[in-house]
Chains A and B, each alone.
Chain A
Amino acid sequence: QVNLLQSGAALVKPGASVKLSCKASGYTFTDYYIHWVKQSHGKSLEWIGYINPNSGYTNYNEKFKSKATLTVDKSTNTAYMELSRLTSEDSATYYCTGETTYFDYWGQGVMVTVSS
């Protein structure tokens, strides 16, 4: 079965960067685009962007263009999202999700806390 396994929770200092991972299994990695979604505590969902694992092509929500960088490593079936220049506004749970025609498969989410 399809599984997206995300890295563990992260506590990072303001101004630092963090790289989150999303390891795919149970399907051909290049079959689904991988999207990333942000959910601030108690709030709704925000789409950050997606990556085509086959070509590496990316597309970002304008709001996150200078915040997030999406990459993949096809040799390990892993997608990554790096968040830079972190502030308290970046404290949230981040999900990776695989898209067929909608967001079919979701990782378990990873909580990022930005605090000194």
Chain B
Amino acid sequence: AQKVTQAQTEISVVEKEDVTLDCVYETRDTTYYLFWYKQPPSGELVFLIRRNSFDEQNEISGRYSWNFQKSTSSFNFTITASQVVDSAVYFCALSEGPGNTPLVFGKGTRLSVIA
């Protein structure tokens, strides 16, 4: 069965600090996809990144970076030099196999960046 665990319920940091959000997943499939979404106070989920199980290359996009490690079943998300606008709930999600398979979400991590 699929499962996504985000052990950090809430994190508070001071602006300009770096912060890492943890995500651990469980799956029996060899082909799967991992996602990160951001949910600002408005409520709409914003897609951040997709990673497939065959690509363990880390990715950097501006202040965001992602570390995918199959050996530990983790897909962690780091925000460098955090800003107040980064305050949101962040969700990690998993889907097994290609196609239209629904996502399984973690419970989310609420990040508060304090000025």
A binds B: no
Q: Which residues of B contact A (CB under 8 A)?
A: none
Q: Which residues of A contact B (CB under 8 A)?
A: none
